[in-house]
Amino acid sequence: MLSEMNHSENNETMKSKAPMVIGGIFVSYLVFVAVIMFVYEPTPEQMDWDDRQAYNQGKLSEISLGQSLEQVRTLLGTADFSEAKTSENANLNVLFYRTHRSKSDGKTTKDECTPLLFKNNQLIAWGEDTYQQYLSAKFIQ
C-alpha cells in the first residue's frame, strides 16, 4: 500500500511539472525565433525575386563612380546577367541587377534590370543608356 501511495504521488508530481516543462520549451522556441528574425540577414542570392529587387533598388543608391567591380559585387551580390568585352584597349564589363518588373512571367530578363558598366574593373556608368554605351563601344580583337 505504501508503494501505491508513492507511485500515486510521483504521478501527481510529474503531471504538475508537465505544463511547466512544455511552457519552458515553448518560451525557448519563441526566443529562438525572435533572435533569428532580428539577427539573420539573408544574402541577396537567398532572397525571393521581389525582395531582391527591392534590395537592389536600395543598394544602387549606395554605389558611386569609380568603385571596383569587387566592391559592387560585395554590395549587390551575384548579377542576374553579365557581359564582357575588350574595347579600345580597355576591358569592359556590364552587370545587370534586377530592379523593376515589367511583366509577371516568373523570369528575369535584361529589360527588368539596371546595367552597371565597368571599364578596367572600375564603375563608369549605370542606368538606362549604359547598356547602349557598352554595345556601341568598338570591339578590339
Residues 6+ apart with CB under 8 A from 123: 63, 64, 65, 66, 67, 68, 69, 72, 116, 117
Judgement on whether residues 2 and 48 belong to the same structural domain of the protein: no
Tally the domains of the chain: 2
CATH number at residue 54: 3.30.1450.10
Judgement on whether residues 60 and 26 belong to the same structural domain of the protein: no
Domain that holds residue 126: 44-136
| Predicted model pTM | 0.68
Judgement on whether residues 23 and 77 belong to the same structural domain of the protein: no
Judgement on whether residues 49 and 72 belong to the same structural domain of the protein: yes
DSSP bridge partners of 114 = 97
pLDDT digits (tens, 9 = 90+) for 115-127: 999 999 999 999 9
Judgement on whether residues 56 and 83 belong to the same structural domain of the protein: yes
In a domain, residue 141? The reply is no
Judgement on whether residues 36 and 90 belong to the same structural domain of the protein: no
Judgement on whether residues 56 and 121 belong to the same structural domain of the protein: yes
Judgement on whether residues 121 and 75 belong to the same structural domain of the protein: yes
pLDDT digits (tens, 9 = 90+) for 33-78: 777 777 767 777 777 778 888 999 999 999 999 999 999 999 999 9
